[in-house]
């Protein structure tokens, strides 16, 4: 149980680091941990008149499998569902982009943060 709480805490801290990183790049923050049915979107921003759906992937250290590869087809489908729900709920008419932010490292002074724009294109 304690390990699960530590992982959740690490994940939330990574999301906060990603949020700050994107705000510093000029993104307008809209929501965090937004839920729609079974879908949860880590972060939602608007940037250059585009709704940006962000999946945050965190690792305490580098692995052979990149955090970016952890976004599988099922997760992509859930993100698309959530993005469409967000547009519908908020009555928005914007193009959608799906990004992934990877945060590697637990110590904020030594973290590596990478932002991959258009990490995938929905084909569902």
pLDDT of 44 reads: 99
Task: Provide CB contacts within 8 A for 67, sequence distance 6+.
Answer: 57, 58, 59, 100, 102, 103, 104
pLDDT of 68 reads: 64
Do 90 and 110 contact (CB within 8 A), yes or no?
Answer: no
Do 56 and 68 contact (CB within 8 A), yes or no?
Answer: no
Show pLDDT as tens, one digit a residue, over the chain (124 residues): 554 444 558 788 999 999 999 999 999 999 999 999 999 999 999 999 999 999 999 877 766 556 567 788 899 999 999 999 999 999 999 999 999 999 988 777 788 899 999 988 876 4
pLDDT of 96 reads: 96
Query: How far are the Cα atoms of 28, 44, 76, 95, 109 from residue 50, in angstroms, in the given order?
Result: 10, 11, 18, 5, 31
Domains identified in the chain and CATH numbers: 2-120 (3.40.1350.10)
Please count the other Cβ atoms lying within 10 Å of the Cβ belonging to residue 53: 23
């Amino acid at each position: 149980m304690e390990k699960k709480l530590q992982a959740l805490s690490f994940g939330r801290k990574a999301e906060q680091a990603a949020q700050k990183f994107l705000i510093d790049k000029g993104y307008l923050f809209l929501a965090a941990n937004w839920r729609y049915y079974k879908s949860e979107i880590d972060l939602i921003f608007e940037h250059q008149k585009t709704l940006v759906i962000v999946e945050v992937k965190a690792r305490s250290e580098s692995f052979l499998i990149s955090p970016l590869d952890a976004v599988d087809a099922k997760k992509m489908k859930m993100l698309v569902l959530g993005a469409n729900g967000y547009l519908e709920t908020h009555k928005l008419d914007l193009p959608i982009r799906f990004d992934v932010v990877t945060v590697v490292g637990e110590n904020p002074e030594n973290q590596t943060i990478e932002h991959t724009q258009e990490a995938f294109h929905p084909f569902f």
